[in-house]
Structure 1
Amino acid sequence: YACFWRPDELVKISGILHMMGLNNLSGTVGQRIEKGQHWMFSPWREITFVHAVQQPLSKVLGKNYPEIVTIEPERDFGDNFTLLNTKLMVHGPSTGQIDITADWDEWIDDVTKPAVEITQSKGKVVHFTTPYLWFEYIFGPLVKNNIFPGLKHIFNDTKHRFVNYSIIATTRYREYFFNLIQEKGDTFKLTTEGNTVTKVNILSSARPVAPQLEYVIPTFEWNRKTNGNKTVTGRISGLRIYMKRPWYSSGEGQQLGVILYMPPVTDNIPGSKNTTFTTWGTDPTKLSAALPNKNTPSLNHFINLKQENKDIVATPEDNTAKVYVAAFDVKYDTDRELYYADIMFNIGVAYYPFVRLALAAYQKHSVRKEKTDCCISPIVQADYIQIPAPRTSSIDVGSSNNQVTVAIGGTLPKIERASFNGSRVEFVIEPLDIAASEETHISIHKPIESYQYTLQINDVNNYIFYHSHQFNLPSEYASKPYRIKVLEYELITYDPLKPNPNPGNVVFASMPKKERLVFADVYEVNK
């Protein structure tokens, strides 16, 4: 700014004017003095006008501020931190400092607690002051020869997480609002919140802990459909693997992996050499159909296995050896306080095949570099277990309503002697005098009718059987409630109390037999 003297005062009181030997303002010098243009009489000063904004500007010329434009995490094996290669846009003239914050779900499986706890964690990744005319910040190798390293986010462990990153800008002019800050406190906002980049995938950098297998049991999936007077029920079988706590040693998203053999592809990809993998085979006591793959199942032999849950990974024992992984989600059984995973094989028409599962904890979101990875834990093996054969049953009520056809079908081994290794089906029709309770079906009266049949060699065609029987019930059962039980028993020889005195002369027909119930289904009619 500039200043000038009033003309009459300048002549009267200015000592500098008299020192210069001037007593009036005539002439060129006097005119400049009168206009305030002579530095000895009216020196100039620079004034900076500050547009002090309470909050940093959020949008200028169509650009949003502050903004996380790009964020790419980078992690190496064993790292307990991640480097965030990041590009930020900041409105420098109105922004004095930048904060990058993070929040994520933390999966904590404390065995002293009833179940896994999912807690929300928060943290500040970085805080820095901003130059006045700097709008773009790039950290890490997003541009060539960048001198600024990626932003370092320390987790203090190697787990996988999905992290949300947010950017917050603080005004450059906080000191101009000192009185308002004291007066209004936290309600006087000095920051502008930018965008949030959600679910940034922070990879696990270490192998999971091996699963602690408790036991494996068969499971049964039932599907019943009714069309008019006909009702059909299908049952297929799978396996449920129970595991002890804790789980989630590699973080969120840890699954159970079934380890499968991978044949050699090239010299550089030798396949599953010297590796434990899942095997299966038919029951040696039965003349069963062969399994779809002779000794080892493949990824194609799982039912409803999504493509995203198929993988090829390196083994912990040898990083050059590769295996296929079929991954399954893990759930928690609050009653047993155990984790479990359900799997289901396509066993074709094989009858009760044996499977020995090779299992590992699997984390798909893991570091993968230089043809190796840390996706699976050390491999553990389960005991052999049999997969029950699939079955269908049906009832078809005739037009008279007291005539009903009952049927059963499924896979069987080849029958050489029905009296030695056959199966027996039984259909029982009984009064519905006591309602079903907790899947228990009881009747205190004798059956209305029953039917038994031992399957013969000709009943099995290409390892599949189907058998039906028609009942003509008393007329009152056209409307009276009744129950139909569909039962199948496997005939097996057993060891008698006394050993066979002549083991070299075995007569199969005379060997003692026992029945093992292998299928049961129930229908309630006119209920």
Structure 2
Amino acid sequence: MTVFLPKGETATVRMSCRIDATHLDVSRIWQLLTGSPLWNDPLQPPQQKKDELTAAAAADENWMINPWVDVTLVHAVERPLKAPVLGELTFLRDPEKTFAQIFGSMHSHAKDTGRIDLDATWIEWHDDVTEPAPQQTTGHAHVGEVTVEPFEDQLRLGGFGHEIRHEFRDTRHRNITYIPTATTRFREYFYPAITDRTELITGEGPASTGPAGKGWPVPSTRRPEPPEVSHTVLTFGWTRTVDRTWHQVIQVRGYAGVRIYLRRPWFSSGDDELLAVVLDPGSHLPTELVTRCGTDLVWADNSVLPRLSPRNFPHYLLGGPAMGRPASGVGMTFSPCRSMAWGLPLSLVSRSWLRMAA
């Protein structure tokens, strides 16, 4: 008997054996039936009914003569036919916690997928003050696994679905790339020589890198450490003109700004940490809570101090309200000669918290 079944499919059918009508006499059950007084009663049943019963028994319609059995047919495949694909993801992290709950969806080929493993990889900055400079390191982690039911082509992560919790063992922010890997549902049908080799029974899905392609942003759960200022340096701009008629070179020095050096370590709240500049739009906040600037005592009126605005910081990366006050964020640049960074006052900003300056 040859049965055709598509790859990865499983079907349960009833199967029994047929018997030729001329060979029914070899069945003891048939002998008892045809030898009974009722069968041999000339008045009943009529011959037509006997012929129908004989044909039904030969056609395997009498379960007493040829009982059926349930047979499960399986077209086992070594690895899933389709790789799993992650959908949109969101993350829930409670303050001070070291793990993140993952919510979202994942598509799988459930007929031949029995389990899906979720792995993570990321690149992050670490600042060890015993080293000459901060260093980027690559992290890897096995986040968890999901058992897939044969009908779960669309899996729900978190909530009332499959619970996935990514344990980081710290509170830092990271940009995570997640990779799903499916394992065949039919491991028990193959020899250990095959199942002992992971690459033969698994299928890796595409990496999920988030909407920006740089990894899913998982927020930090605590405020960054406050910045510690080392020293400040005035910066100047120069304008140079050449007068070839009089053979003169004229250089004029102009004011440019202030460079502020911070002590290490940095990245206490993880990657993408910025230095925030807190501005006062005119709400008369205490002086120690906002960024102020003075005036030249000789050449300018010092009775009214100017208010700073984002235009005073042309290289800021983002701007918005921070704890009720406007703030602009600037990136920090490493200075190898001083082992410090330069930026602007007043506080550090992580992706989930703002630290106000003291």
TM normalised by structure 2 equals: 0.78
- Contact 1:262-1:272 within 8 A present in 2 as well: no
Secondary structure in 1 aligned to 2:69?
Answer: coil
- Give 5+ residue unaligned stretches, structure 1: 59-64, 141-145, 265-270, 315-321, 344-357, 367-373, 381-527
Matches of 1:94 and 1:310 in 2, distance apart? Answer: 50
Query: Do structure 1's residue 197 and structure 2's residue 238 form an aligned pair?
Result: no
Larger of the two Rg values belongs to structure: 1
Cα–Cα, structure 1 residues 296 and 171, in superposed 2: closer, same or farther, change >3 Å?
Answer: farther
- Asked if 1:162 corresponds to 2:172, the answer is no
SS at match of 1:279: coil
Residues 351-500 of structure 1: pairs in structure 2 closer than 5 A: 359-363=346-350, 365-366=351-352, 374-376=353-355, 378-380=356-358
1:130 paired residue number: 148
CA distance in 2, matches of 1:66, 1:189: 14
Q: Deviations over 1:141-199 (max 9, x none)?
A: xxxxx6348632222222221111222222211222235515x8344242242451332
Matching residue within 27, 30, 42 for 1:14: 27
> Who is 2:300 aligned against?
289
Alignment size in residue pairs: 326
For residue 158 of structure 1, give the secondary structure of its aligned residue in structure 2.
coil
The code of the aligned residue for 1:298 comes to L
Equivalent residue, structure 2, for 1:302: 312
**Kept after mapping to 1: 8 A contact 2:172/2:269:** yes
| Most deviating of 74-83 and 210-219 | 74-83
Read off the aligned partner of 1:31 and give its amino acid letter. Answer: A
In 1, Cα distance between equivalents of 2:309 and 2:315: 8
CA distance in 2, matches of 1:34, 1:52: 34
Q: Secondary structure at the match of 1:197?
A: coil
Q: Which residue of 2 aligns with 1:34?
A: 58
Percent of aligned pairs sharing the same letter: 26
- Equivalent residues in 2 for 1:509-524 (5 A)? none
Q: 1:124 to 1:223 in 2, by over 3 A?
A: farther
CA distance in structure 1 between the partners assigned to 2:226 and 2:16 by the alignment: 81
- What does residue 311 of structure 1 align with? 320
Read off the aligned partner of 1:256 and give its amino acid letter.
L
> Which among 268, 272, 278 is matched to residue 249 of structure 1?
268
**Structure 1 CA distance for aligned equivalents of residues 244 and 201 of structure 2:** 69
Is this contact kept in 2: 1:68–1:197, CA < 8 A?
no
Partner residue of 1:511?
A: none
CA distance, structure 2, for counterparts of residue 122 and residue 8 of structure 1 = 72
- Cα deviation, residue 247, structure 1: 0.7
**1:3 — aligned with what?**
17
- Unpaired runs of 5+ residues, structure 2, are 1-14, 37-46
Show the counterpart of 1:121: 139
Shift in Å, 1:290? 4.4
| SS of residue in 2 equivalent to 1:93 | coil
Under a length normalisation based on structure 1, what TM-score does the superposition of the two structures give?
0.55
Per-residue deviation, 1:224: 5.8
**Counterpart code for 2:318:** N
8 Å CA contact 1:180, 1:188 repeated in 2: no
Alignment of 1:250-269 (within 5 A): 250-264=269-283
1:41-120 correspondence runs (5 A)? 41-58=65-82, 66-120=84-138
Question: 1:130 corresponds to which letter in structure 2?
Answer: V
> What do residues 398-441 of structure 1 show as CA deviations (whole Å, max 9, x unaligned)?
xxxxxxxxxxxxxxxxxxxxxxxxxxxxxxxxxxxxxxxxxxxx
Flag the 1:326–1:14 CA change in 2: closer, same or farther, 3 A. Answer: closer
Cα distance in 2 for partners of 1:360, 1:303 equals: 15
Give me the whole-angstrom Cα distance separating, in 2, the residues matched to 1:379 and 1:53.
Answer: 61
CA distance in 1, matches of 2:32, 2:126: 87
**Partner of 2:234 in structure 1?**
218
> Deviation of residue 217 (structure 1)?
0.7
Per the alignment, residue 3 of structure 2 pairs with none
1:174 & 1:238 partners in 2: Cα distance?
A: 67
Residue 106 to residue 10, structure 1, CA distance change in 2 (3 Å): same
SS at 1:48 equivalent = strand
Q: 1:14 to 1:76 in 2, by over 3 A?
A: closer
